[in-house]
Every structure is written in structure tokens, then in C-alpha cells.
């Protein structure tokens, strides 16, 4: 990267110090607020409301325990997991075939489909919760885990299509053709040759769909009452919940996302790079 773009770091010491210093400050800017939330979650309720507050947590599980056994939290967590899991399965099952078709075939209407997928980006999707609330009452899907998963799939599907498209495009068609000449039919060739190669990418795309659903607040809060997800539960208890409950809840919301994003980090760029074209 000797010919890197933009502000090339000069050889001067001062320039290098400024560069490294800025990078470290930007890292702290991201990390410190997360640390503060986790520090709160790991402190006892009395330490959370103490003043002045210590930067170091009191390492006490009381807040987290209080949160986990709080009325409705267990149920909300379970709903969240169910919705996110359904979203993950649906967006891959529906999105991956489309991604494969886009990468392997030239056909009439291909552009039309691409526009349809890209159009989802230009709309405020959480608003879908409004008409869906009415649709779901008509077909008996109101306040169900499955109904919410449908809305979340609309959010995650475009990503699934774009990621799988870039995955399949990265695998030479010759590999598939070789399998055909060796006697595989199209389906066998796909399962034996292509599928193992794209599996890690498909997993990443599935994880991303999970995170999208896990984090979504608005549609979840509008569409569910009995089957509230964790974000919906937290949103609706903002006014009356004690501070330590909010912070423990926030931490429980953040942790899985942190871990998941670590596993999909390689693919984040593939999908946004494609989205540009």
C-alpha cells in the first residue's frame, strides 16, 4: 500500500504521530461509550445510582439478575430469539436463490428485479409496520412472532440477495460446468461443488439477518403486545423502569450483536461494495 490514496502519511515523525493519535482517539470514541454501558450493567443497582459514579464497575451481578428475572423479560428474550431465527431462515431461503439467479443467468427482467431490491433501500421500511398491522389482523397474524418475522425479513432480504449474489459471482462457473460434464445434474453440481464453497458466506448473511431482526425497535413495538421482543419491551419500559434495569437490558441487547458482527466483518464490505453499482 505504498501508493495509498488520499492523505498519504508523510515520513515525518510529527505526521505519523498525528495520524496514530487520531486513529486511537477515534477508536476510543467508539469503545468508551460501550464500556460505560457494560460497566453500569456490571454494577449493583445502588452503585448505578450512586454519585459521583465510579468509572470502574463494582462487579456485581445483581443488576443483570434483577433484569433477567424481571417480569416479562424472559418471555421477551425468547420472543426476540424466535423472531430473529425465523427472519434468518426466511431471508436466506428466499434470498439465496435470487442471488444465485442474478449471478448465473442473463434474462429479461433482471434489471427490473435489481431495481425492486434497490428500491427497498430508498424507503423507510419500519413504516411497513403500519399497513402490516392491518393486514395481519385480517389474516390472524396480529401479535405473532411469525408476523413480526415477516416484516423483519423485508428488512433483511435485500442484504441476503446482495451478499449471496456477490458470493456466487466470486465462484467461477467453470467449476459448475466441470461437475456437469462429470455427470452431475444442475442440482447435484450445486450441492456438491458450489454449496460447500459458499457456506461460510451464507452463514455470515444469515447472522446479519439475525442481527437486523434482533435490533429492530419500531416495527416490533407497533406489532406486538403479548409477544413483545426485547427492544420493544425496553422501549415500553423506558418511562417507569429503574436505571439499572435499562442499562442491564441495554447490555444484553448489545452483547450478541458485538459477537455476531465480529464474525461477519469480512462480508460487510462485499455487500456494500455491490450495493454501489
Partner 1 sequence: MQSRSLPYLLLLPATLFLLVFFVYPFTLVAWQAFATDEGELTTKYFTKMVSHWKFDKALTYTLLLALVVVPIQLALSLLMASFVSNMKRGRDIILYIWTIPLGISDLAAGLIWLAIFEQTGFLNSILYSTGVIEQPITFLSYQNKGVIFLAVVLAEIWRATAIMLVILVAGIGLIPKEYYEAAQVYGANTWQRFTKITLPLLKPSLQTALILRVILAFEVFAVVAALGGTNLPVLMGEVYNRQFVLQDSHTAAAFAMLILIISIISTVFFMWSLRTPKGASL
Q: Which of residues 111-150 bind partner 1 (CB under 8 A)?
A: 113, 116-117, 120-135, 150
Q: How far apart are CA 125 and CA 219, in angstroms?
A: 9
Stretch of residues binding partner 1 (CB under 8 A), selected from 27-35, 68-76, 170-178, 192-200: 27-35
Site for partner 1 in 151-170 (CB under 8 A): 151, 153-154, 157, 161
Among the listed residues 17, 21, 31, 188, the single contact to partner 1 using CB under 8 A: 31
Stretch of residues binding partner 1 (CB under 8 A), selected from 68-76, 107-115, 169-177, 198-206: 107-115
Q: Does residue 52 touch partner 1 according to CB under 8 A?
A: yes
Please report how close the Cβ of residue 175 comes to partner 1 at its closest, in angstroms.
17
Judge if the upstream peptide bond of residue 97 is cis by omega within 30 degrees of 0: no
Evaluate whether 265 touches 204 at the Cβ level (below 8 Å).
no
**Length of the chain as a residue count:** 277
**Angstrom distances, CA of residue 120 to CA of 14, 76, 116, 155, 226:** 46, 28, 7, 8, 29
Site for partner 1 in 183-242 (CB under 8 A): 185-186, 211, 214-218, 221-222, 231, 234-235, 238-239
Number of residues forming the site for partner 1 (CB under 8 A): 103
Q: How far apart are CA 251 and CA 230, in angstroms?
A: 12
Q: What is the DSSP letter of 7?
A: S
Q: For partner 1, what does the binding mask look like between residues 235 and 254, x meaning CB under 8 A?
A: x--xx---x--xx-xx--xx
> String of b and e for 238-254 (b: at least 16 CB within 10 Å)?
eeebeebbbbbbbbbbe
Please report how close the Cβ of residue 15 comes to partner 1 at its closest, in angstroms.
10
Evaluate whether 157 touches 91 at the Cβ level (below 8 Å).
yes
Please report how close the Cβ of residue 135 comes to partner 1 at its closest, in angstroms.
7
82/211 with CB nearer partner 1: 211
Stretch of residues binding partner 1 (CB under 8 A), selected from 58-66, 70-78, 192-200, 260-268: 260-268
Q: Does residue 14 touch partner 1 according to CB under 8 A?
A: no
59/123 with CB nearer partner 1: 123
Stretch of residues binding partner 1 (CB under 8 A), selected from 16-24, 57-65, 171-179, 192-200: 16-24
3-state secondary structure 98-135: HHHHHHHCCCCCHHHHHHHHHHHHHCCHHHHHHHHHHH
Q: Does residue 81 touch partner 1 according to CB under 8 A?
A: no
Residue that has been written with the C-alpha cell 433483511 in this structure: 156
**Angstrom distances, CA of residue 277 to CA of 109, 207, 229:** 17, 24, 35
Amino acid at each position: 500500500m505504498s501508493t495509498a490514496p488520499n492523505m498519504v502519511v508523510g515520513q515525518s515523525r510529527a505526521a505519523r504521530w498525528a495520524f496514530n493519535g487520531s486513529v486511537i482517539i477515534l477508536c476510543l470514541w467508539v469503545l468508551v461509550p460501550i464500556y460505560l454501558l457494560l460497566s453500569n450493567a456490571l454494577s449493583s443497582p445502588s452503585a448505578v445510582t450512586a454519585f459521583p459514579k465510579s468509572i470502574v464497575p463494582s462487579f456485581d451481578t445483581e443488576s443483570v439478575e434483577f433484569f433477567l428475572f424481571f417480569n416479562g423479560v424472559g418471555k421477551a428474550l425468547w420472543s426476540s430469539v424466535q423472531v430473529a431465527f425465523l427472519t434468518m431462515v426466511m431471508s436466506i431461503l428466499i434470498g439465496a436463490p435470487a442471488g444465485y439467479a442474478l449471478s448465473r443467468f442473463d434474462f429479461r427482467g433482471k434489471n427490473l428485479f435489481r431495481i425492486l431490491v434497490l428500491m427497498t433501500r430508498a424507503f423507510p421500511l419500519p413504516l411497513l409496520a403500519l399497513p402490516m398491522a392491518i393486514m395481519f389482523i385480517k389474516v390472524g397474524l396480529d401479535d405473532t412472532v411469525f408476523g413480526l418475522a415477516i416484516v423483519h425479513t423485508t428488512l433483511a432480504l435485500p442484504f441476503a440477495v446482495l451478499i449471496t449474489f456477490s458470493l456466487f459471482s466470486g465462484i467461477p462457473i467453470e467449476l459448475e460446468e466441470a461437475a456437469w460434464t462429470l455427470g452431475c445434474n444442475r442440482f447435484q453440481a450445486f450441492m456438491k461443488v458450489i454449496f460447500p464453497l459458499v457456506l461460510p458466506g451464507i452463514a455470515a448473511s444469515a447472522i446479519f439477518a439475525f442481527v437486523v431482526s434482533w435490533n429492530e425497535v419500531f416495527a416490533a413495538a407497533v406489532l406486538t403486545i403479548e409477544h413483545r421482543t426485547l427492544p420493544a419491551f425496553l422501549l415500553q419500559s423506558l418511562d417507569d423502569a429503574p436505571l439499572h434495569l435499562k442499562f442491564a437490558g441495554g447490555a444484553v441487547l448489545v452483547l450478541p450483536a458485538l459477537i455476531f458482527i465480529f464474525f461477519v466483518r469480512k462480508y460487510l464490505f462485499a455487500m456494500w461494495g455491490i450495493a454501489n453499482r
